[in-house]
Amino acid sequence: MMANHVKVLAYLHIAFGAILIFFGLLALLLFGGLAGIAGRSDDIFVVPVLRGLGGVVFVVMLLLGLPEIIAAWGLLNFRPWARVLTIILSAIHLMNVPLGTALGVYGLWVLLSRDGQQLFETRIRTA
């Protein structure tokens, strides 16, 4: 039963990470488009600032989304390091009201429960 919860948690983290990366790509396209529009003006300062801002937003969103997907992959394979990473990510998600809070509470409940711990300890013993 708890293995199903771990899989659901993994899929939720994949979705959360993919959404973060998607919004990063969207910001990159938006700021790139704005830079293209601003490039028609005489102000040479605005274009590099807009492009740089889009790049920074993309990199930040990528750095936030990739650990979600990596942790999810590890959860799907019941890797002990993924449990630790997901507990950390879940604690961080608690501050992201309301969806992140729900994901964080669910993740902590699944991974800190006795059954959740045993799933990953059993994996260590069989490896």
pLDDT by residue (tens digit) across 24-70?
999 999 999 988 888 877 777 888 899 999 999 999 999 999 999 99
How many independent structural domains does the chain possess?
1
Predicted structure pTM score? 0.87
| 3-class secondary structure, 17 | helix
Task: Give the tens place of pLDDT for each residue, 92-104.
Answer: 999 999 999 999 9
| Residue 105, domain extent | 2-126
Measure the CA angle with vertex 22, ends 75 and 67; round to 5°: 30
